[in-house]
Amino acid sequence: MKGTKKMHRMAGLVALLLLVALLAGGMPVQAGPVQEPGDAGEDAPGPVQEPGDAGEDAPEPEVRLHTVTENDSFRLEYDEEGADLYITDLRSGKVWSNTVDADYYPVEESSRNMMSQLMTVTVASEDGRLSVVNVFDNGAGAANYKLEHRYEGEELVLSMSLASGMISFDIHMGLCEEGFYYEIPGESVVEKGEDMLVNIQLMPTFGAAVSGEEGFLLIPDGSGTLIRHKSYDDPNARLYMYPFYGTDVLDLKKIQENQEQGYHNLMLPVYGISHGDGAMLAAVTEGEADCVLNVAPGGFKFNGLNRAYLTLNYRIYYSTQVNGNDYIQIIPNNYTSTRRVQIFLLDGEHTTYSDMAGVYRDYLEQEGILKEQESRTGVPLVVNLVMGAGESSLFGKKLITATTYSQAAEILADLGSGVPKVSAVLEGWGKGGFDTLPTDPALEKKFGGKRDFKKLLTACEEENVDLYLKMDFINGDVSTGDFNNRKDTVRSGFGTVVNEGDRYLLNPVQVLEDCYEDAVKTRKLSKGQAICFDTLGQLLTYDHSSSRPASRTQAQEACETVLGRAAAEQGQVAVSGGNQYVLPYAALLDGIPDSGSDYYLGDEAVPFYQMVVHGSVDYTSTAGNHSYDLQYQKLKWIETGSLPSFVLTYESPSLLHKTACNDLFSSEYAVWKDTVKEVAGELNDRLGQVWNQKMVRHERQEDLVVITYEDGTRVLINYTDQPVQRDGITIPAMDYSVGKGA
């Protein structure tokens, strides 16, 4: 790579990439994978300046490398003329760079400069015009920017300013024990004039891989998704954009559609690229809620080059059409918190997704984000008990009861006497049942009131059942909930309240602490009786209110504050969803996907998320009675390390078919209790000794999935309809085997 020469140094203004948000009443933007018209150099709305031509006979500049710093594993060098970074892995000799070597990926000279791009900077004028400044070299003679460098201790500091001098920022780069990092301090971002900084993309070809070589892109979609470096021959190939921690579209209808269509969050702010001779895992370690992952498979723009890179957002903008013309609205709020990215560089002996999971798990443990669980044996059982929901009628809503407090106590006493450990999550338990949003922590008389609720607490205490009261403080229903639909709600970029009929999105910065205080005061929560925070681990939103704007990072901080208090005061909390910011606080994660979102470009779903968190946090996935095949779901629990779980009611779920809980088809405890006990007993007998350990490897070997735990125990899973023999062991069809070196 060091011999790479650049013939064309240029900077140009091109229009920005795809719109990542939605104007209320405008054209909806697809959530999940979002199509982007193009990255730097593609045509898009806005003014375009053609890049300058250096001339075919222009001399090739000298590549001058300055060694910035070096440690036992890596050396960081900077090409002062070309503004290129080179990180040499001293263990293997592999060189990582933002510039793609011409011998590795040959392209026409007219496209060569794109292979050495350092960054793009998107700016907006006061009247809403967007443009992108492409940075290919140190800016000498560039018309649109000035890039300067300096060395501070063991760091390289790049100072970037646009031609007007009104927008500037610094990028700090250096080595760490595991690889390389870069950081844009929030205080270094300066705007002096009317132009506004929208986003920054750094090193869009760093780690890029050529189609056909061994390896993959790892996307943390749901449990995790691999995209092989296969050749794409798709004229409609596109760039995909994924916000970390779920959609950032302010549209309740679209959020609901995403859930129904099985789109999952990127719950960990990472991505990986594996080559045959090395691998990298990039992690956003600060400001991740305001970042977007871009995935460019080999058919997009550069045929045969597979890329993934980040967009660091500082402002959001919306687009719609008015009388056939594109209209762009820039949100003036500037979210200039620090953005920091750490890139873990793995050697040629550790290039699998299991290796990436191990590296990231170690990092989260070092940072205190993951904590080791208390020593224990056994596989806990989780049951979600649905209490009741409202049914609409001519005379308004009437509350339909599926489980009373005393019936819940009866179920848990029965399970607790036969299963080593049970955790129960009560849904729709408060006043008004499932439909009251935000959740009212007062008890519902139709479920039995205070006297029967006390019986439930007593049963949980006697049987050592952890009880979680599911409460939603992020969604509001103006017909049932207690909130101010003007002051407490999220607003779009045009100042309109985000709602769908009576349903509203609430701003966690505004409401979370008050809702939590009310719950604590009303329920007098204590250890053994805690909150399961619904939605908190699944959804972060902007609030574009002019008087109280909030970024997604600020929403994340509000969630962390309340979760930290709850964990300290109650001893434990549960959370629906598993976005990384909940991990330091949650004892139980409810509803973690056991697959990816099945986008067409994905080749294989892997339990990357589960391998990172297993042994630190308990989690559930699809409930056994929600699966089309319980035996298959049991194998998925084993493969992903998910706790066995069931959604249950005391009465027949047919009572709820006209309510918001109409997705329950079979949940009556009398029907399921023997099956629940049998499955829980089996998993405890066969896996109880290893369940609390870390999962160190996951792999597919022909017809088997193999899970390896840290003590060497292997679980061989056969998903086929025929027995499979391996190492003298026969694994029956749709079954599994457990043993050391099995």
Specify the CATH number for the domain of residue 471.
Answer: 3.20.20
Q: Which pLDDT belongs to residue 617? A: 96
Q: Is residue 376 helix, strand or coil?
A: coil
Q: Are residues 448 and 339 in the same domain?
A: no
Q: CA-to-CA distance for 313 and 25, rounded, in angstroms?
A: 23
Q: Two tokens at 381?
A: 């059982």
pLDDT the model gives residue 31: 35
Separation between Cα atoms, residue 726 and residue 720, nearest integer Å: 14
Q: Is residue 587 part of a domain?
A: yes
pLDDT tens track for 218-236: 999 999 999 999 876 666 6
In a domain, 8, yes or no: no
**CATH label of the domain that carries residue 192:** 2.70.98
Count the neighbouring beta carbons within 10 Å of the beta carbon of residue 235.
6
The partner residues of 386 in beta bridges, in order of sequence, read 427
If asked whether residues 442 and 325 sit together in one domain, one would say no
Residue 21 has a pLDDT of 34
Q: Which is nearest to 551 in space by CA: 227, 256, 289? A: 289
Strands annotated E in 478-565: 499-500, 503-505, 529-537
The neighbour count for residue 75, using CB atoms within 10 Å, is: 17
Helix, strand, coil in percent for the chain, rounding step 5:
20, 35, 45
Beta strands 729-731 and 724-726: pairing type?
antiparallel
pLDDT for the residue numbered 141: 56
Q: Which one, of 305, 391, 331, 411, lies nearest residue 39 by Cα? A: 305
Nearest to 389 by CA among 714, 658, 611: 658
Look up the domain containing 164 and give its range: 13-50+63-351
Q: What is the pLDDT of residue 259?
A: 83
Cα(678)–Cα(634) distance, rounded to whole angstroms?
Answer: 12
Q: How far apart are CA 732 and CA 628, in angstroms?
A: 20
3-state secondary structure of 258: helix
- 322 with 467, same domain? no
Residue 270 lies in a domain: yes
Q: Tell me, what's the pLDDT at 419? A: 87
Among 691, 711, 728, residue at a domain's last position: 691
Contacts of 700 (CB under 8 A, 6+ apart): 604, 706
Q: Is residue 307 part of a domain?
A: yes
Q: What are phi and psi of 612, to 5 degrees?
A: -70, -45
User: Looking at the structure, do residues 441 and 313 belong to the same domain, yes or no?
Assistant: no
Picking from 351, 368, 391, the residue at the C-terminal end of a domain is 351
Residues 337 and 240 placed together within one structural domain of the fold: yes
Domain presence at residue 305: yes
Dist CA 588 CA 373 (whole Å): 11
pLDDT per residue as tens digits for the range 32-60: 443 333 343 333 322 222 333 333 343 44
Q: Which residues pair with 530 in a beta bridge?
A: 468
**Domain-located, residue 330:** yes
Same domain, 564 and 713: no
- Token output for 317: 């903008």
To which residue do tokens 């402002």 refer?
Answer: 315
Q: For position 302, what pLDDT does the model report?
A: 66
Specify whether 306 is located in the same domain as 455.
no
Answer whether residue 504 is part of any domain.
no
Q: What are 484's strand-pairing partners?
A: none
Rg of the chain in Å (alpha carbons): 27
Quickly count: other Cβ atoms within 10 Å of residue 148's Cβ.
Answer: 12
Residue identified by tokens 């050495």 is 116
pLDDT at 13: 27
Which tokens is 319 given? 């687009």
For 485-512, the pLDDT digits (tens) are 889 999 988 788 999 999 999 999 999 9
Q: Is 7 a member of any domain?
A: no
The enclosing domain of 712 has a CATH number of 2.60.40
What pTM does this model have? Answer: 0.90
Confidence at residue 456, expressed as pLDDT on a 0 to 100 scale: 96
Q: How far apart are CA 692 and CA 643, in angstroms?
A: 11
Q: What pLDDT was estimated at residue 261? A: 83
- 708 and 686 in a single domain? The answer is no
Please give the pLDDT value at position 651: 97
Residues 111 and 130 in one domain: yes
- The residues of the chain scoring below 70 in pLDDT are 1-63, 109-111, 139-141, 232-237, 299-303, 320-322, 324-326, 527-528, 600, 741-742
Burial class (CB in 10 A: 0-12, 13-18, 19+), 319: buried
| 520, burial (CB in 10 Å: exposed 0-12, middle 13-18, buried 19+) | middle
Q: Per DSSP, which regions of 555-621 are E strands? A: 573-577, 586-590, 604-605, 618-619
**Domain total in the chain:** 3
Cα separations in angstroms, 521 against 435, 440, 514, 524, 677: 22, 12, 11, 5, 36
Residues 635, 655, single domain; the answer is yes
Q: Report in angstroms the alpha-carbon separations of 454 from 384, 415, 431.
A: 19, 18, 16
- Whether residues 395 and 345 fall in one domain: no
The residue length of the chain stands at 742
Query: Are residues 163 and 185 located together in one domain of the fold?
Result: yes
Per residue in 211-234, is it b (16+ CB within 10 Å) or e — as a string?
bebebbbbbbbbbbbbbbbeebee
pLDDT at 204: 93
Tell me what pLDDT residue 679 has: 97
Closest Cα partner for 73 from 86, 89, 87, 53? 89
What letters, b where the CB count within 10 A reaches 16 and e where it falls short, cover 110-136?
Answer: eebbbbbbbbbbbbbeeeebbbbbbbb
**Domain endpoint, select from 305, 334, 351:** 351
Neighbours of 550 (CB within 10 A): 22
Give the separation between CA 471 and CA 487, rounded to whole angstroms.
21
524 contact partners, CB below 8 Å, separation of at least 6: none
Question: What pLDDT sits at residue 295?
Answer: 93
